[in-house]
Structure 1
Amino acid sequence: MFSKVLVANRGEIAVRVMRACEELGIRTVAVYSDADKHSGHVRYADEAYNIGPARAADSYLDHEAVIEAGRKAGADAIHPGYGFLAENATFAAKVGESEMKWIGPSAAAMERLGEKTKARALMQEADVPVVPGTTEPVESADEVKEIADEYGYPVAIKAEGGGGGRGLKVVHSEDEVEDQLATAQREGEAYFDNASVYVEKYLEAPRHIEVQILADEHGNVRHLGERDCSLQRRHQKVIEEAPSPALTEDLRERIGEAARRGVKAADYANAGTVEFLVEDGEFYFMEVNTRIQVEHCVTEQVTGIDIVKWQLRVAAGEELDFAQDDVEIDGHAIEFRINAENAAQNFAPAPGGKLETYDPPGGIGVRMDDALRQGDDLVTDYDSMIAKLIVTAGDRDECITRSERALAEFEVEGFHTIIPFHRLMLTDEKFCAGEHTTKYLDEELDKERIKQAVAEWGPAESESEEDDDEEVTERDFTVEVNGKRFQVSLEERGAPAIPVSGGGRNKGSSQRPPQAKQSEEKEEVVVEGDGERVEAEMQGTILSVNVSEGDEVASGDVVCVLEAMKMENDVVASRGGTVSQVLVGEGESVDMGDVLVVIE
């Protein structure tokens, strides 16, 4: 078994992996960007290394920086978690060529299954049903139109390296093809370093079913049952459960065996997920996620199998010690993603803030996967998910009732979360009956009900605290020696400053060292004229700028596209006029309130 593992990720999944490592007697190494220097995964790890600025491309996606951190730490292996580099075959190969072990499938298997067109072709050869479409990438709008003419609209344009709804665009008519193709290619490049896309028939109202796989390096392949991930908004899952309430026993058996068959044909080892769409009693292969999934927890709860520990054991050469017949599904589990979003505003990401209150639920059948603690600041550079609540019970009805209790106990103050939305769904007839599809949330659920839920169960309007005007002096010193992180923090609030040391796991205490205010100042931007200032409503990265100085724009025109927390957000002009200044460019990071464009 390994003695030290670097976790190439952040947040709750990094802590989840570190906990598994600790139970196996493995020391852990965190990596962090400048934005994450006070984050929970850094506190939890045995040691931590800075790998670059906040921008993911310059830190968490920097192959050489991550590998160099592993070398400095003397790590035996690298676990990628999910997202970032988890499905990057090039990075997996680089790790394999180093002195460290890649905890995941081989780069060759990732190539075969991680890129969607190759996976579709392989599954067809293994006699696994696939959604009608291409098995080769498409490059032009004309190719997309030809496929749509063959299968009929709508069609889906999907990034080859995509997942979680990123790089997926639905085309309903011919006049949408060019814009949606360009957007899918741009998202594929931005998120997965791969602009290649393919096209398939878009199923109108399917269930999203996925099968958890474990395979070792000795040829053994097991499936751990299925999960139902049909409740989604904009193709992003929000609630997942196991087992699915929609499958018959016959269909469940056929899907599980199809997943095993396809994975075995790919010569795959380690954990993975085979995803299917189910409609009218038929199932179709969608994709393979060659990594651990966000929703792996519900499978662990109903099978009793620790998937992350088995990832480590398989990578260390161990053989699976259970047969397929030994896998039993016991009870029901539901996972609620606790995202920092305002569901009443179309799930807009929270702009940031301090976690003033964080009091998660407990009791029998309640599991929390998180990394934040009360007093932490919300880091908005990457992902809106701050925690996962997983509830387990003897059957689905009891699980829903227990979930109602747990969510009612969950207190978060400082910014919006989607807890009110989750509480609404547990009173929703269609969800409670298990009759929802992937379209239910976006196209059927009355949005007024969501607004009412947020009004009833959301955070109260913040009031200024009596000590807001009290002068506070905060100083934060982060010292790096050979790239390794050591931290000293000082805070003075009407009393002498007290130094607090950090730099490793502080067991027995969940209190974060006081965090300094941002000391780095952005280069001053001169805004000329007194016209309308179009400002960023949230922190993020400019994906595209749609106007130039001198352009005429009308009210509602998109002036630029801002990516925040893995979602594209159109920034529009509130009135017409002439663009007098464009103050940002593609790829630039902006903060909430930054002026992007001036319109006279």
Structure 2
Amino acid sequence: MFNKVLVANRGEIAVRVIRACRDLGVRTVAVYSDADKHAGHVRMADEAYNVGPARAADSYLDHDAVIEAARTADADAVHPGYGFLAENAEFARSVQQSELVWIGPPADAMEQLGEKTKARSLMQTADVPVVPGTTDPVDSAEEVKHVAAEYGYPVAIKAEGGGGGRGLQVVRSADEVETRFETAKREGEAYFDNASVYVEKYLEAPRHVEVQILADEHGNVRHLGERDCSLQRRHQKVIEEAPSPALDADLRERIGDAARRGIREAGYTNAGTVEFLLEDSGDETEFYFMEVNTRIQVEHTVTEEVTGIDIVKWQLRVAAGEALDFTQESVSINGHAIEFRINAENAADEFAPATGTLETYDPPGGVGVRVDDAVRQADDIGGDYDSMIAKLIVNAGDRGECLARSERALAEFEIQGLRTIVPFHRLMVTDETFRAGEHTTNYLDEQFDRGRIDRAVEKWGWAAEGAEHDEEGAAAETTEREFTVEVNGKRFEVELEERGAPPVPAADIESGRSGGGATRPRPDEATEGDDGGDGAVEGDGERITAEMQGTILSVDVAAGEAVAAGDVVCVLEAMKMENDIVAERGGTVSEVLVAAGDSVDMDDVLAVLE
């Protein structure tokens, strides 16, 4: 087993990996950006290293900085978690070619399965059903029309490197082909640096079921049952459960065997998820391969709860060369588990991302209740990264009991200081369609009464304003001060105890560290971004700025173009959500300062109006 593992991630998944390492007696190394100096994963790790500024592209996604931190810390291996670099085959290969061990599948397998057309071809070779469509990329709108003529409309144009609904365009008639084709290519280029697309028959109302896989380097491949991830909005999962209420014993065995065949054909090792779409054809339910996620999944927790198998611990053990010590026949599914993503979002405002301070953070407990998080009360939740602040996982003897326990746990989950989607979850566990297990992937987007969400937020929502704090009084009682310092990029915490110390001036207290000491900025930070407060653009025009950190998905205006109040200037993707940036007044666009694919920070100037 390893002596020390660097966790190339943040938030709850970094904490989850750190805990698994501790269970195995392995020391841990965290990496963090300037925005995460006091984050939970940093507090928990044995040591931590700064890898750059808040923007993910300059920190968590910086291959060289992450690998250099691992070398400096004398780590043995790198665990990527999910998101960021977890499915980046280039980064995996860089780790594999260094003296470090990559805790994940081989880079070659990641590349093969990451490109959807190659993955479809591989699955067909393994006799795994795939959705009817092309196994090669299509180069023109005319090719899309030929596929549609063979299978009928609607068809889906998908980015070859896509996932999570990005780069997916549904075409319902020949008139839409040209526009949808170009949009899918543009989104593929912006999100995945790959404009290649393919076409398949679009399933109108499928179930989304995925099979958890573990495979070692000794030829053993096991599946740990399936999860149902059908409750989605805009192709993003919000509630997941295991096992799926849509599968009977026969279908469960067939879909599990198919997943094992595909993984074995790919030469895949470590943890992974084979995702399928299920369609009820009347006489029986058909299943089709969709994609492989070559990493740990957010929702791995529900599988752990019903199987008793620690998936993250097995990731570490497999990467260290150990063989799986259980047979397929010994894997059993016991009871039922549901995971609720506790996102910092306002469900009543199209699930718009929310920011603020956790004035109150009191998660539930009791029998059958698990909370995975990396936050504590008084932490600041910013808009720099994903909106998920915690995961609530509930398990019980059967689905009915699990839903009842979920109602109790969600009612106990108290958060104040910012909006979360807990009220939405409380609504869903009482929803008749969800309780009956009859929901499909389009249920929320196409069939659900959105007014019910507004009423749920009004009934169960919490104030966005936190309680007032007497900072002067609190500081007056403080006898210990905690200072965070960096030496050559490595983070250290220093505690200083003083009796009768004067309060720390508010101006000196670093954000999110009430009562603590301030970290002295590095010399290169002192003037970074200092433009006198008037932005980066000269002139008297109205500046349209980014409301949060994210990626520009599309730019809808050009210099010289007239716009009216409310017109969309660009679309900004942040926290896995698309946000329309609109003009607050009419005018003429004098400058456009961004392009599709650009990363922007909060308050960056996007365009200027005259």
Q: Quick check: TM above 0.5? A: yes
- The whole-number CA distance in structure 1 between the counterparts of 2:402 and 2:256 is 24
Q: How far did residue 375 of structure 1 move?
A: 0.9
1:375 and 2:385 aligned: no
Match of 1:346 among 339, 347, 350: 350
Residue 197 of structure 2: aligned partner: 197
Residue 452 of structure 2: aligned partner: 449
The gaps in structure 1 that reach 5 residues or longer are 500-509
**Does the 8 A contact of 2:417 with 2:466 survive in 1?**
no
1:572 and 2:582 aligned: yes
Secondary structure at the aligned position of 2:332 is classed as: coil
- Per the alignment, do residues 113 and 447 of structure 1 end up closer, same or farther by CA in structure 2, a change over 3 Å counting? same
Secondary structure at the aligned position of 1:51 is classed as: strand
Residue 590 of structure 1: aligned partner: 601
Residue 400 of structure 2: aligned partner: 397
Q: How far did residue 460 of structure 1 move?
A: 2.2
**Does the 8 A contact of 1:490 with 1:514 survive in 2?**
no
**Does the 8 A contact of 1:373 with 1:511 survive in 2?**
no
The CA RMSD over aligned residues, in Å, is 3.0
Q: How far did residue 20 of structure 1 move?
A: 0.3
Secondary structure at the aligned position of 1:287 is classed as: strand
Q: How far did residue 512 of structure 1 move?
A: 9.7
Alignment of 1:175-190 (within 5 A): 175-190=175-190
Q: How far did residue 379 of structure 1 move?
A: 2.9
1:316 and 2:320 aligned: yes
Alignment of 1:541-560 (within 5 A): 541-560=551-570
**Does the 8 A contact of 2:475 with 2:504 survive in 1?**
no
Q: How far did residue 151 of structure 1 move?
A: 2.6
Secondary structure at the aligned position of 1:326 is classed as: coil
Letter in 2 for 1:386: I
Q: How far did residue 259 of structure 1 move?
A: 0.7
Alignment of 1:34-433 (within 5 A): 34-280=34-280, 281-350=285-354, 352-433=355-436
Residue 502 of structure 1: aligned partner: none
Residue 488 of structure 2: aligned partner: 482
Q: How far did residue 153 of structure 1 move?
A: 2.9
Count of residues in correspondence between the two structures: 586
- Per the alignment, do residues 264 and 19 of structure 1 end up closer, same or farther by CA in structure 2, a change over 3 Å counting? same
- Per the alignment, do residues 556 and 193 of structure 1 end up closer, same or farther by CA in structure 2, a change over 3 Å counting? same
Letter in 1 for 2:589: V
Q: How far did residue 395 of structure 1 move?
A: 0.3
- Per the alignment, do residues 535 and 60 of structure 1 end up closer, same or farther by CA in structure 2, a change over 3 Å counting? closer
Secondary structure at the aligned position of 2:118 is classed as: helix
Residue 563 of structure 1: aligned partner: 573
Q: How far did residue 45 of structure 1 move?
A: 0.8
- The whole-number CA distance in structure 2 between the counterparts of 1:464 and 1:359 is 14
1:359-409 Cα distance to aligned partner (Å, 9 max, x none)? 000000000110011111113222111110000000000000000000000
- Per the alignment, do residues 380 and 92 of structure 1 end up closer, same or farther by CA in structure 2, a change over 3 Å counting? same
- The whole-number CA distance in structure 2 between the counterparts of 1:88 and 1:407 is 35
Q: How far did residue 446 of structure 1 move?
A: 0.2
Residue 441 of structure 2: aligned partner: 438
1:401-452 Cα distance to aligned partner (Å, 9 max, x none)? 0000000000111111110000000110000000000000111110000000
1:47-104 Cα distance to aligned partner (Å, 9 max, x none)? 1111122222222122111111111111111111111111111211111111011111
- Per the alignment, do residues 432 and 514 of structure 1 end up closer, same or farther by CA in structure 2, a change over 3 Å counting? farther
1:514-549 Cα distance to aligned partner (Å, 9 max, x none)? 778997655332575476x64544343434433233
**Does the 8 A contact of 1:489 with 1:513 survive in 2?**
no
**Does the 8 A contact of 1:490 with 1:498 survive in 2?**
no
**Does the 8 A contact of 2:564 with 2:586 survive in 1?**
yes
Deviates more, 1:521-530 or 1:53-62: 521-530
Letter in 1 for 2:436: A
**Does the 8 A contact of 2:70 with 2:78 survive in 1?**
yes
TM-score under structure 2 length normalisation: 0.89
**Does the 8 A contact of 1:214 with 1:271 survive in 2?**
yes
**Does the 8 A contact of 1:20 with 1:309 survive in 2?**
yes
Deviates more, 1:374-383 or 1:450-459: 374-383
**Does the 8 A contact of 1:376 with 1:512 survive in 2?**
no
**Does the 8 A contact of 2:384 with 2:548 survive in 1?**
no
1:496 and 2:503 aligned: yes
- Per the alignment, do residues 264 and 309 of structure 1 end up closer, same or farther by CA in structure 2, a change over 3 Å counting? same
1:456-491 Cα distance to aligned partner (Å, 9 max, x none)? 111125278375899999x99754333322356999
Letter in 1 for 2:601: V
- Per the alignment, do residues 76 and 251 of structure 1 end up closer, same or farther by CA in structure 2, a change over 3 Å counting? same
Secondary structure at the aligned position of 1:286 is classed as: strand
Letter in 2 for 1:336: F
Deviates more, 1:294-303 or 1:172-181: 172-181
- The whole-number CA distance in structure 2 between the counterparts of 1:197 and 1:513 is 52
**Does the 8 A contact of 1:491 with 1:498 survive in 2?**
no
Secondary structure at the aligned position of 1:108 is classed as: helix
**Does the 8 A contact of 2:504 with 2:517 survive in 1?**
no
Q: How far did residue 175 of structure 1 move?
A: 4.8
1:144-177 Cα distance to aligned partner (Å, 9 max, x none)? 3433343333322323333333333333344544
**Does the 8 A contact of 1:553 with 1:576 survive in 2?**
yes
Letter in 1 for 2:398: D
Deviates more, 1:365-374 or 1:379-388: 379-388
**Does the 8 A contact of 2:474 with 2:515 survive in 1?**
no
